Amino acid sequence: MTQIKIFDTTLRDGEQSPGVNLNQLEKLEIAKQLERLNVDVMEAGFPASSQGDFNAVEKIAQTITKSTVTALARANKNDIDQAWEAIKEAKKPRIHVFIATSPIHMKDKLKKTPEEVIDIAVEMVKYAKEKCSDVEWSAEDASRSDLPFLATIIEKVIAAGATVVNLPDTVGYTTPKEYGEMFKYVKENVPNINQVDLSTHCHDDLGMAVANTIAGIQNGATQVEGTINGIGERAGNVALEELAVGLEIRKDFYPFKTQLVLKEIKRTSDMISKLTGMIVPGNKAVVGRNAFAHESGIHQDGVLKNTQTYEIITPELVGVQSNNLVLGKHSGRHAFKDRITQLGFTLSEEKISEAFKSFKQLTDRKKEVTDDDLFVLLMDIQTDVSHRKQYQLHSFQVHYDSAHSPTATVTLETPSQKIVTGEKSGAGSVEALYHTIESLIEEKVQLTDFTLSSIGKGKDALAEVHVHLNVNEQSVSGRGTAQDVLEAATHAFLNAVNRIFIKKKVD
């Protein structure tokens, strides 16, 4: 079995998904979970892109000890300086430098000749290498590049000190055969290729990212880059959980393994879905809600007789628990603290007290508190960056009857600590609430997306709302959880608006 290294770019390429904007604490929680999942490398961000990204990468580099932490840089000195400054305290730092190599990118985007691109790539790999012994070089749009040109530039960047060479299918255009042949060509035509790890990086525009990635490793790649839940630009990146579970389940066929801790997959997927607001479709392979549900009578009958008739992946393999009822009204602080640790959270005593208070409030209204409920509650507390300079909800009421338009009354505290109250109506209760909030805040807001889902099952399940807004022409997402749907919707809206302020403070 050949060991394939997993390079997770959820926090960089994944964060480039439209409307996703994680704050520093959220990124840190994801990084810690990626380390529990045991990824070999995590790309923490693109420090030169913003001060917020720089700070988050720096914090992750200072915290993570097992995985390599890398940061992206364009092929220029400033980007490389910023990347190095952000990751230099990591136990295992790596600088990731990229430049485009396809004719269309070189001519129309970079406005450079192929010779100039070679010179820049070599110079910048050398520059990065002076700072960091581990340097990855990516040929952006490699899958649409000229193969002999690719072989020439790869040989030169390896001679300049690159330790990893990554060949992305940047626009998700390639096919498994074509992508595999590119790796084969590079293996056969670059004399010093065995000095480096060769890496895949597939986007999913044509739905072929997993197949393309596998074709890459069948032809010599020893690292794969992707994201959890396949989030990323446009149609996203290859979903790492699909690849890792595919290799595990078909190990009779594929001679490759990864070192991912597969039972951490579900929790990682849930965390990323919750914090990014990118909901995982029910039928998504490996982590979708229905991935292990058997609906038809014939399937249910078969599974009852022998689970393997229709079940090729057990829920336990990826950490889906069948019975995760844990705590209730009479559970004490000790049991609560134990459960927090088992769920993988490390909270300060102050945050544990805050979480225990919220848990007790929840048990007043909900008899059975599941791991899913606790996860949401703890995640909210762990990533809460609330401070005085933001909008805070004091109270709200909605008047609804089937004969009239609903009317909402909302009282808020503004960032300048004024208490304001307003009343507006709308076609539905949520619209009435949102109209009212909009009338009370100074920000210019436009709602672009709204999703409502339940955490777990049952009539008393918690409601979770994700929204995407344009606030002062910046796209932001927000989330809110509560037992009541309207309360969750209100929190989600204010959470999105407040992210503008939170970003200013935490980033």
Contact of residue 98 among ligand KIV, Zn ion, none (CB under 5-8 Å per partner type):
ligand KIV
Q: Give me the least distance between CB of 232 and ligand KIV, in Å please.
A: 8
Closest-CB residue for Zn ion? 13
Q: Give me the least distance between CB of 170 and ligand KIV, in Å please.
A: 3
Environment class of 99 (CB within 10 Å of its CB; exposed 0-12, middle 13-18, buried 19+) = buried
Contact 282, 275 (CB under 8 A): no
> What are the b/e assignments for 239-252, b being 16+ CB within 10 Å?
bbbbbbbbbbeeee
The residue among 96 and 366 lying less far from Zn ion, judged by its C-beta, is 96
Site of interaction with ligand KIV (CB under 6 A): 13, 98, 138, 140, 168, 170, 201, 203
Q: Give me the least distance between CB of 169 and Zn ion, in Å please.
A: 9
Contact of residue 138 among ligand KIV, Zn ion, none (CB under 5-8 Å per partner type):
ligand KIV
- Give Cβ neighbours of residue 361 (< 8 Å, ≥ 6 apart): none
Q: Which of 285, 456, 430 is nearest to 375 (CA)?
A: 456
Round to whole Å and give the CA distance between 472 and 134. 41
Q: Give me the least distance between CB of 454 and ligand KIV, in Å please.
A: 35
Contact 506, 24 (CB under 8 A): yes
Measured between its terminal Cα atoms, the distance across the chain in Å is 43
The residue among 93 and 168 lying less far from ligand KIV, judged by its C-beta, is 168
The residue among 45 and 168 lying less far from ligand KIV, judged by its C-beta, is 168
Does the footprint of Zn ion cover residue 136 (CB under 5 A)? no
The residue among 138 and 477 lying less far from ligand KIV, judged by its C-beta, is 138
Q: Which two tokens stand for residue 386?
A: 């609330």
Q: Give me the least distance between CB of 176 and ligand KIV, in Å please.
A: 18
Q: Which two tokens stand for residue 260?
A: 């991912």
The residue among 73 and 467 lying less far from ligand KIV, judged by its C-beta, is 73
The residue among 76 and 470 lying less far from ligand KIV, judged by its C-beta, is 76
Please give the size of the binding site for Zn ion, defined by CB under 5 A: 1
Contact of residue 270 among ligand KIV, Zn ion, none (CB under 5-8 Å per partner type):
none
Q: Give me the least distance between CB of 246 and ligand KIV, in Å please.
A: 21
Contact of residue 495 among ligand KIV, Zn ion, none (CB under 5-8 Å per partner type):
none
Residue written as token pair 């490699």: 142
Contact of residue 498 among ligand KIV, Zn ion, none (CB under 5-8 Å per partner type):
none
Round to whole Å and give the CA distance between 496 and 507. 15
The residue among 13 and 464 lying less far from Zn ion, judged by its C-beta, is 13
Q: Give me the least distance between CB of 9 and Zn ion, in Å please.
A: 7
Q: Given the rule CB under 5 A, which of 6-14, 183-191, 325-333, 345-353 is the region that contacts Zn ion? A: 6-14
Contact 145, 107 (CB under 8 A): no
Does the footprint of Zn ion cover residue 15 (CB under 5 A)? no
Contact of residue 140 among Zn ion, ligand KIV, none (CB under 5-8 Å per partner type):
ligand KIV
Q: Which two tokens stand for residue 305?
A: 């007789």
The residue among 98 and 375 lying less far from ligand KIV, judged by its C-beta, is 98
Which neighbouring-strand residues pair with 5? 223
Round to whole Å and give the CA distance between 256 and 10. 22
> What are the b/e assignments for 209-237, b being 16+ CB within 10 Å?
bbbbbbbbbbbbbbbbbbbbbbbbbeebb
Does the footprint of Zn ion cover residue 204 (CB under 5 A)? no
The residue among 15 and 264 lying less far from ligand KIV, judged by its C-beta, is 15
Contact 209, 143 (CB under 8 A): no
From residue 452, give the alpha-carbon distance in Å to each of 11, 25, 347, 356, 477.
24, 24, 28, 26, 14
Q: Give me the least distance between CB of 218 and ligand KIV, in Å please.
A: 21
Residue written as token pair 């009779």: 252
Environment class of 391 (CB within 10 Å of its CB; exposed 0-12, middle 13-18, buried 19+) = buried
Q: Give me the least distance between CB of 280 and ligand KIV, in Å please.
A: 22
Q: Give me the least distance between CB of 480 and Zn ion, in Å please.
A: 31
The residue among 13 and 197 lying less far from Zn ion, judged by its C-beta, is 13
Does the footprint of Zn ion cover residue 43 (CB under 5 A)? no
Q: Give me the least distance between CB of 159 and Zn ion, in Å please.
A: 26
The residue among 13 and 134 lying less far from Zn ion, judged by its C-beta, is 13
Contact 44, 55 (CB under 8 A): no
Look at residue 114 and give its three-state secondary structure: helix
Round to whole Å and give the CA distance between 463 and 456. 9
Does the footprint of Zn ion cover residue 13 (CB under 5 A)? yes
Does the footprint of Zn ion cover residue 464 (CB under 5 A)? no
Q: Given the rule CB under 5 A, which of 11-19, 302-310, 438-446, 458-466 is the region that contacts Zn ion? A: 11-19
Q: Given the rule CB under 5 A, which of 12-20, 62-70, 269-277, 434-442 is the region that contacts Zn ion? A: 12-20
**Contact residues for Zn ion (CB under 5 A)?**
13
